[in-house]
């Protein structure tokens, strides 16, 4: 391994077993094979096994912070456990330079019957500190944890906050060369969180390399030099953080789209019809008028609604809206405004309504069109359908909220000028 | 300071060769001795906590089993054989050595399963965990040895001066127990039946081994005892205390060699296969 590389992962794969009984069987089998000096044919999947991490390669140089992002079950934590040496790869090779410290599960290894003082020593030892280190760091740990008089009380009488604080205090006082962090930042109240963040910044400065796993993309964006995006154990993207987060959003939207499409039987409450009209295919049209499922953020949005009328309708109007995932109506417009866009004498048969929103400016995400068709004279409702095929608005992940907009920022100091003049 | 590069790859140790990894094992154990001590202290401090009479349990448990045998003997149901010294001393002393094996084996075989959450979240020496669990057996041994001293005083007998050799003579049984404990802790970590089976088996072995009765001279049990290393390993330190000599020195030496061989083999197997346990424990 080159001198400037802190972590090197080469084609690493790790498999898990879904069935408990089989897992037991395979475990004993593997032990027997190894005992007899045989390899453990790790490259093959046995029944009920699957790849939790598959063929992953990356490198972290000294001084770099790597983020690992991905949805639940994508293999992030497994990857971290592999780097930590808790799990061993089934295929491939993984090398780390120096002492590895992990903020994975703070407080694991605490014994409820032991006092805070005793647990600090035991936990310190488990985390790889020697006696001298714990002795030196002891006061700092106690102060950081802020447990006051409870130092000599069994930790089973601690509040959950105290327990977590103590666990964190011990963990952040180990000084590793390679620091692994798994979603531990949201611990305690605001002041403890800030204290922890400051301490983590110190640790990161001293460490050779940091690997950071989090669902909090803001943290990832701020802390990481580069990211890898995992999905079902495979690397989908490796590179610049900003680009990686965009890819992550893109992937999440795509997955949501698929899961919404596959969901069955949620039609009824969101759909009511008089039987005079029935809506069929719904979607978007691109600039050339061809059907599409997604558009770029900031571009005009053209939606079409195909429907069939079962009798002639003398005066029809529509209400069309766009809802986001939180069910908020981002756009809601009715065609019948000031007497405009009332469609007269709609004959029996198939029709297509096209609505063009010229400046929708919605942030990237998954959106659901909704529509209602009503009689403009009697105001009776023919069809209300809130359950139509969703579509995607694609773009970078920088904007959140509802409205997409550019922004310019400026910081001024105020109040001083006026005083000077006096 | 140059930072060591650690490499993980499947069958890591297997590649290095079966016996050349011994150095690696010794280094790991030495390096982690403070951790082992801390884990031992943790087990020791917690074993009798949340209990009013605490450490007294270590006295009560052997006294009850010995008491049962005394009762059985007085009713004529059970015959100890020819012993030549007060039975309680013989039995409590024998039990003290026997439980090094029984308590030690049960504690060590449960050590990985009990530390499940730690093993799956922190990377630390699992050998330390198993070794530290033997501490429980050593502590109960010391307490029971105190009981033996009290019994000697009660009967007005003095133990032989060679009692000082006891710490050396128990080394083989400790090696034997720890060796088996390594393998069983792994297996029990993966398949919990192992632990349950073991509790049954150990009670059975206790009756099979002449601990609470004198060595039988005829019958199937006499034949079995000749080939029972546990008998020699537990009897030798007892004989030293009671008779000032090891009566069957040949059997003891052979059993000790066996014990050390079992220990080394099991330790190597443990080292080769311990990487499998975290994902299945």
Q: What is the DSSP letter of A347?
A: P
At B46, give phi and psi (nearest 5°): -95, -15
The owner of tokens 């110190």 is A202
Q: What share of chain A has pLDDT > 90, as a percent?
A: 48
Q: Do B187 and A28 touch (CB under 8 A)?
A: yes
Partner B, chain A 190-249, Cβ-Cβ below 8 Å: 208
Q: Quote the tokens at residue A266.
A: 């949620």
Q: Do B46 and A114 touch (CB under 8 A)?
A: yes
Q: Which of A358, A366, A362, A367 is nearest to A399 (CA)?
A: A362
Per-residue model confidence as pLDDT tens digits over A307-323: 999 999 989 999 999 99
State the nearest Cα–Cα gap between B19 and chain A, in angstroms. Answer: 11
Q: How far apart are CA A61 and CA B143, in angstroms?
A: 55
Q: Do B118 and A100 touch (CB under 8 A)?
A: no
Q: How far apart are CA A78 and CA B280, in angstroms?
A: 14
Q: Do B269 and A35 touch (CB under 8 A)?
A: yes
**Contacts of residue B119, Cβ cutoff 8 Å, sequence gap at least 6:** A86, B112, B126, B129, B189, B277, B278, B281
Task: Please tell me which of the candidates B8, B41, B273 has its beta carbon nearest to residue A31.
Answer: B273
Partner B, chain A 44-103, Cβ-Cβ below 8 Å: 81-82, 84-100, 102
State the nearest Cα–Cα gap between A327 and chain B, in angstroms. Answer: 39
Q: Which of B214, B183, B173 is nearest to B83 (CA)?
A: B214
State the nearest Cα–Cα gap between B266 and chain A, in angstroms. Answer: 10
- Mean pLDDT value across residues A25-49: 84
Task: Please tell me which of the candidates A16, A34, A114 has its beta carbon nearest to residue B11.
Answer: A34
The whole-number pLDDT of residue A184 equals 61
- Which residue would you say has higher pLDDT here, B140 or A52? A52
The whole-number pLDDT of residue A266 equals 45
Q: Do A128 and B124 touch (CB under 8 A)?
A: yes
Average pLDDT, chain A: 88
Task: Please tell me which of the candidates A87, A93, A108 has its beta carbon nearest to residue B279.
Answer: A87
Q: Which of A237, A234, A212 is nearest to A53 (CA)?
A: A234
- Mean pLDDT value across residues B58-66: 79
State the nearest Cα–Cα gap between B260 and chain A, in angstroms. Answer: 18
ipTM: 0.86
**Whether pLDDT at A38 is above 90:** no
Other beta carbons less than 10 A from residue A315's beta carbon: 15
Q: Determine the longest span between alpha carbons in chain A, in angstroms.
A: 91
**Whether pLDDT at A326 is above 70:** yes
The whole-number pLDDT of residue A386 equals 85
Q: How far apart are CA B194 and CA B270, in angstroms?
A: 16
**Contacts of residue B262, Cβ cutoff 8 Å, sequence gap at least 6:** B175, B176, B179, B180
Q: Do A96 and B269 touch (CB under 8 A)?
A: no
Q: How confident is the model at residue A330 (pLDDT cuts 50, 70, 90)?
A: very high
Q: How far is CA B3 from CA A3, A97, A176, A317, B25, in A?
A: 10, 6, 11, 74, 20
Residues from B in contact with A at Cβ < 8 Å: 3-12, 14, 18, 34-35, 38-39, 41-42, 45-46, 49-50, 115, 117-124, 186-187, 190-191, 269, 272-273, 275-280
Per-residue model confidence as pLDDT tens digits over A364-410: 988 999 999 999 888 899 999 888 888 999 887 667 889 998 889 99
**Out of A169-183, B71-85, B154-168, B260-274, least confident range:** B71-85
Query: Which of B276, B277, B281 best tests the A interface by mutation, with the highest count of A CBs <10 A?
Result: B276
Q: Chain B partners of A90 at a C-beta cutoff of 8 Å?
A: 10
State the nearest Cα–Cα gap between A115 and chain B, in angstroms. Answer: 10
Task: Please tell me which of the candidates A81, A82, A95 has its beta carbon nearest to residue B7.
Answer: A95
The whole-number pLDDT of residue A339 equals 75
Q: Is the dihedral of CA B181, B183, B184, B189 positive or negative?
A: positive
**Whether pLDDT at B74 is above 50:** yes
Q: How far apart are CA B90 and CA B212, in angstroms?
A: 8
Residue A34 in contact with partner chain B when CB distance is under 8 A: yes
In order of their start, the domains of chain A are 5-253 (3.40.50.300), 268-394 (2.70.50.60)
The H or E element that residue A372 is part of is strand A365-375
Query: A6-15, A193-202, B56-65, B66-75: which has the highest mean pLDDT?
Result: A6-15
Q: Do A16 and B49 touch (CB under 8 A)?
A: no
Q: What is the full DSSP assignment across A145-173?
A: HT-GGGGGSBGGGS-HHHHHHHHHHHHTT
Query: Which of B2, B18, B36, B123 best tests the A interface by mutation, with the highest count of A CBs <10 A?
Result: B123
Q: Chain B partners of A128 at a C-beta cutoff of 8 Å?
A: 124
Name the region of A343 (left: φ>0; alpha: ψ -120 to 50; beta: rest): beta
Q: How confident is the model at residue A190 (pLDDT cuts 50, 70, 90)?
A: confident
A119-146 as b/e: b if 16+ CB within 10 A: bbbbbbbbbbbeeebbeebbeebbebbb
Q: Is the dihedral of CA A234, A239, A241, A244 positive or negative?
A: negative
In terms of CA atoms, which chain B residue is nearest residue A177? B3
Task: Please tell me which of the candidates A42, A82, A108 has its beta carbon nearest to residue B118.
Answer: A108
State the nearest Cα–Cα gap between B24 and chain A, in angstroms. Answer: 16
Per-residue model confidence as pLDDT tens digits over A57-115: 999 999 899 999 999 889 998 999 999 999 999 999 999 999 898 887 777 788 988 99
Average pLDDT, chain B: 88
Q: Do B273 and A34 touch (CB under 8 A)?
A: yes
The whole-number pLDDT of residue B23 equals 85
Q: Do A95 and B269 touch (CB under 8 A)?
A: no
Residue A127 in contact with partner chain B when CB distance is under 8 A: yes
**Whether pLDDT at B137 is above 70:** yes
Q: Do A102 and B123 touch (CB under 8 A)?
A: yes
Q: Chain A partners of B18 at a C-beta cutoff of 8 Å?
A: 37
**Contacts of residue B222, Cβ cutoff 8 Å, sequence gap at least 6:** B215, B216
State the nearest Cα–Cα gap between A104 and chain B, in angstroms. Answer: 7
CB A324 within 8 A of CB A390: no
Q: Do B273 and A98 touch (CB under 8 A)?
A: no
Query: Which of A7, A10, A126, A163 best tests the B interface by mutation, with the highest count of B CBs <10 A?
Result: A126
**CA atoms lying within 13 Å on the CB side of residue B159:** 24
The whole-number pLDDT of residue A267 equals 43
The whole-number pLDDT of residue B2 equals 57
Q: Chain A partners of B4 at a C-beta cutoff of 8 Å?
A: 97-98
Q: What is the DSSP letter of B3?
A: P
**Out of A178-187, A190-199, A230-239, least confident range:** A178-187
Q: Do A90 and B272 touch (CB under 8 A)?
A: no
State the nearest Cα–Cα gap between A193 and chain B, in angstroms. Answer: 22
Q: How confident is the model at residue A172 (pLDDT cuts 50, 70, 90)?
A: confident
Other beta carbons less than 10 A from residue B201's beta carbon: 13
Radius of gyration of chain B (CA): 20
CA angle A28/A31/A32 to nearest 5° reads 85
Q: How far is CA A149 from CA A115, A188, B86, in A?
A: 11, 18, 53
Q: How confident is the model at residue A268 (pLDDT cuts 50, 70, 90)?
A: very low
**Out of A356-370, B79-93, B148-162, least confident range:** B79-93
Q: Do A31 and B186 touch (CB under 8 A)?
A: yes
Q: How far apart are CA A174 and CA A129, in angstroms?
A: 7
In terms of CA atoms, which chain B residue is nearest residue A39? B11
The whole-number pLDDT of residue A96 equals 94
SS3 A75: coil
Q: Do A92 and B4 touch (CB under 8 A)?
A: no
Q: Chain B partners of A104 at a C-beta cutoff of 8 Å?
A: 121-122
Q: Do A1 and B35 touch (CB under 8 A)?
A: no
């Amino acid at each position: 391994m080159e001198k400037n590389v802190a972590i090197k992962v080469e084609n690493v794969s790790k498999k898990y077993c879904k069935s408990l009984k089989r897992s037991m069987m395979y475990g004993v089998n593997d032990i027997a094979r190894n005992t007899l000096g045989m390899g453990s044919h790790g490259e093959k999947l046995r029944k009920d096994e699957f790849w939790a991490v598959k063929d992953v390669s990356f490198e972290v140089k000294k001084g770099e912070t790597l983020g690992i992002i991905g949805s639940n079950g994508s293999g992030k934590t497994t990857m971290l456990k592999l780097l930590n040496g808790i799990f061993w790869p089934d295929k491939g090779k993984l090398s780390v330079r120096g002492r590895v410290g992990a903020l994975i599960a703070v407080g694991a290894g605490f014994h409820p019957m032991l006092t805070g003082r005793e647990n600090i020593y035991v936990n310190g030892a488990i985390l790889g500190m020697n006696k001298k280190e714990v002795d030196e760091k002891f006061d700092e740990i106690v102060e950081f944890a802020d447990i006051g008089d409870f130092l000599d009380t069994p930790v089973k009488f601690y509040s959950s906050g105290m327990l977590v604080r103590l666990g964190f205090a011990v963990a952040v006082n180990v000084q590793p060369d390679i620091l692994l962090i798994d979603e531990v930042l949201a611990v305690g109240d605001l002041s403890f969180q800030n204290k922890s963040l400051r301490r983590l910044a110190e640790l990161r400065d001293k460490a050779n390399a940091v690997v950071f796993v989090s669902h909090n993309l803001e943290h990832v964006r701020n802390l990481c030099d580069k990211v890898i995006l995992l999905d079902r154990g495979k690397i989908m993207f490796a590179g610049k953080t900003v680009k990686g987060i965009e890819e992550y959003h893109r992937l999440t939207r795509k997955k949501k789209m698929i899961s919404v499409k596959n969901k069955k039987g949620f039609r009824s409450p969101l759909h009511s019809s008089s039987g005079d009209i029935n809506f069929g295919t719904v979607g978007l049209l691109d600039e050339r008028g061809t059907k599409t499922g997604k558009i770029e953020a900031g571009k005009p949005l053209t939606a079409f609604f195909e429907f069939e009328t079962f009798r002639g309708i003398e005066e029809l109007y529509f209400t069309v809206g766009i809802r986001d995932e939180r069910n908020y109506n981002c756009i809601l417009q009715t065609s019948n405004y000031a007497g405009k866009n009332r469609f007269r004498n709609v004959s029996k048969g198939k029709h297509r309504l096209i609505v063009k929103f010229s400046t929708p400016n919605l942030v990237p995400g998954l959106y659901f069109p909704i529509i209602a068709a009503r009689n403009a004279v009697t105001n009776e409702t023919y069809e209300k359908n809130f359950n139509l095929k969703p579509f995607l608005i694609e773009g970078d992940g920088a904007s959140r909220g509802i409205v997409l907009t550019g922004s310019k920022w400026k910081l001024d100091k105020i109040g001083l000028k006026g005083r000077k003049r006096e | 300071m140059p930072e060591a590069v650690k490499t993980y790859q499947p069958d890591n140790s297997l590649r290095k060769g079966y016996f050349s990894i011994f150095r690696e094992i010794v280094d790991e154990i030495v390096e982690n001795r403070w951790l082992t001590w801390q884990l031992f202290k943790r087990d020791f401090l917690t074993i009798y906590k949340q209990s009013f009479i605490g450490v007294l349990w270590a006295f009560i448990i052997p006294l009850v089993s010995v008491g049962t045998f005394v009762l059985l003997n007085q009713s004529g149901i059970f015959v100890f054989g020819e012993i030549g010294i007060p039975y309680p001393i013989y039995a409590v002393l024998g039990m003290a050595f026997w439980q090094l094996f029984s308590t030690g084996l049960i504690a060590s075989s449960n050590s990985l399963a009990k530390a499940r959450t730690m093993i799956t979240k922190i990377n630390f020496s699992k050998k330390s965990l198993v070794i530290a669990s033997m501490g429980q057996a050593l502590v109960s041994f010391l307490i029971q040895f105190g009981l033996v001293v009290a019994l000697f005083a009660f009967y007005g007998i003095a133990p032989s001066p060679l009692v000082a050799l006891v710490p050396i003579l128990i080394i083989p049984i400790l090696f034997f127990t720890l060796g088996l404990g390594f393998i069983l802790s792994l297996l029990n970590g993966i398949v919990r039946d192992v632990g349950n089976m073991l509790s049954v088996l150990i009670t059975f072995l206790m009756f099979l081994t002449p601990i609470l009765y004198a060595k039988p001279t005829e019958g199937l049990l006499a034949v079995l005892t000749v080939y029972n290393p546990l008998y020699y390993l537990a009897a030798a330190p007892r004989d030293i205390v009671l008779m000032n000599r090891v009566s069957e020195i040949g059997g003891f030496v052979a059993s000790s060699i066996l014990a050390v061989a079992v220990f080394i083999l099991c330790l190597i197997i443990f080292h080769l296969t311990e990487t499998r346990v975290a994902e299945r424990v």
